Amino acid sequence: MPGKSLDTINKTEREYWDENKLERSSIKRLRRHAFHFSYKRQEKILNKIIRKTFEGKELLELGSHEWLSWVKGRVKPKKITCINISQVELDKGIKNVKELPFEIEFHLMDANELIFEDESFDVVYGGAILHHLDIEKTMNHVYRVLKPGGFILFLEPMNINPIYKIYRKMNPKERTPDEHALVGTDFKIIKKKFTFSHEFFDFMSVFFGFISLKIFGDKKYGNIINRFGFALDVVISKIPFLYVLFARVIIYGQKR
């Protein structure tokens, strides 16, 4: 993010989220339709990782309000600490606290400058958050606050495929001004300090989903076209150099 200070970026981020300035409804229908099967695959993969790494552990959620959906029906952690730079976003998570079988706390905090003690957490995770941050700065902090052998788990958008790049350029109101869906150099930064595993989602499913939506209409997800796009993606996502085509990634790994 050359040119802008982190303070300026954070101020804008806070404003956008506190004031709910994004306009994200235009492709909601297509996303729901085209990503129907990949959301299921995503849940299956997350389920496996979360069950293995979150149970009885001290967790830190960056960019929080989704904590409940990460753990609900899956695991009982020891404690979840949630941070966000926006109080409005944090409040969305606070309102879900009822009686819980584990501890939970919330802090208004910049994820680029975590103020927790060294080696405080077993897992640091988050959904759609790294791409709002200075990845290098944040990953240094994540490394510092994780206990030896601690885990990371993130679900992030990617911005390598030229088609997605063009789409993003044409629809700036769906994004905050300084966010930057991940590119290869971000992966390299993460790999310096963490083991790095990944699962990629949504390339052909977007195109086949679009056609399927036009032909079959909304909520008719299970048709052959939608299924074919998804099946193609699962195959292509396993071919190492083709990962650049995909729109989203689950990143998980361990502190080196």
32 vs 220, beta carbon nearer ligand SAM: 32
Helix (H) or strand (E) holding 135: helix 135-145
Residue with tokens 């709002």: 132
Residue with tokens 């695959």: 41
DSSP, collapsed to helix, strand or coil, labels residue 230 as helix
* Minimum CB distance to ligand SAM, residue 212 (Å): 26
Determine contact, residues 150/177, Cβ cutoff 8 Å. no
38 vs 112, beta carbon nearer ligand SAM: 112
* Minimum CB distance to ligand SAM, residue 21 (Å): 11
Residue with tokens 């099946």: 231
User: What CA–CA distance (Å, rounded) separates 228 from 205?
Assistant: 8
40 vs 256, beta carbon nearer ligand SAM: 40
Angle, alpha carbons 80-185-47 (nearest 5°): 35
| CA separation, residue 68 to residues 50, 77, 100 (Å) | 13, 11, 10
* Minimum CB distance to ligand SAM, residue 44 (Å): 18
Query: How far is C-alpha 129 from the chain's CA centre?
Result: 6
* Minimum CB distance to ligand SAM, residue 109 (Å): 7
10 vs 81, beta carbon nearer ligand SAM: 10
Residue 96 CB: number of other CB atoms within 10 A? 14
DSSP code for 192: H
* Minimum CB distance to ligand SAM, residue 63 (Å): 3
63 vs 77, beta carbon nearer ligand SAM: 63
Q: Which residues bind ligand SAM (CB under 6 A)?
A: 10, 13, 17, 63, 65-66, 83-86, 89, 110-112, 126-129, 132-133
Strands (E), 85-160: 103-108, 121-127, 146-157
64 vs 205, beta carbon nearer ligand SAM: 64
Residue facing ligand SAM at closest CB distance: 127
* Minimum CB distance to ligand SAM, residue 33 (Å): 20
